[in-house]
Amino acid sequence: MAKDPVDALTPLGVMVLALLRESDMHPYEMVRLLRARHDDRLITVTNGTLYHTVARLQRAGLLAEVGTDRDGKRPERTTYTLTDAGRETVVSWVRRALPRIDREVDARVALAEAHNLERTDVVALLHDRRAALRDSHALHHDGLRGARTKGVPAQVLVEIERQEALLDAELRWLDSLLTRLDGDDLPWGPDAFDDSDRYRAQRKAAQQ
């Protein structure tokens, strides 16, 4: 049975494919854009890892070469485009990762790329995520209460206390986001991006 490309996709691979949803690019531009947008706070971005990821995505048929160019004495650069399979895979990966709470890096990348999905899809997936967070928060809350009742030393409960607090904070933040998504004050989707002077300047700088 052929392996589902979504299963083999890494968070960096998702972000590479998502970049190509914007425009055809060469790997050097991808690296510069990821760093300019501070996406390297979510994942480790090195030239070697990104070039290796691009090669893997090409072998999987998720992106394809569209040409090469050379600017002066610089090395030849290969430009890539997103295939239909790559476009579908980004959406499938985000749909799969967004409601899950057991993979922190995947969840953060999925949130960063959730704008590639329709608003209604994102709202439904975030409600699924909220249900999982609520259950986990209740489990930690009840576990803490039970442990304290039994006289478990407080010093061995600090990690559980932290996790309960983080879950509570995310639930409150998620409720706020869902409220914004239900209204009109949060533009959503690829077409909602403003093709501003700042964005064009950022792209131009990354192409140098």
Q: pLDDT at position 184, please? A: 80
DSSP-H helix ranges across the chain: 5-8, 11-22, 27-36, 47-59, 84-97, 104-112, 119-149, 158-182, 197-207
pTM of the entire predicted model:
0.86
How far is it, in rounded angstroms, from Cα 176 to Cα 109?
A: 19
Regions of the chain where pLDDT drops below 50: 1
How far is it, in rounded angstroms, from Cα 193 to Cα 32?
A: 20
What number does CATH give the domain 5-112+190-207?
Answer: 1.10.10.10
Instruction: Please report how many Cα atoms fall inside a 13 Å half-sphere around the Cα of residue 104, on the Cβ side.
Output: 7
Q: pLDDT at position 196, please? A: 56
Domain ranges of the chain: 5-112+190-207, 118-182
Q: pLDDT at position 1, please? A: 44
Q: What is the mean pLDDT of the chain?
A: 90
**Closest Cα to residue 181, out of 137, 94, 115?**
115
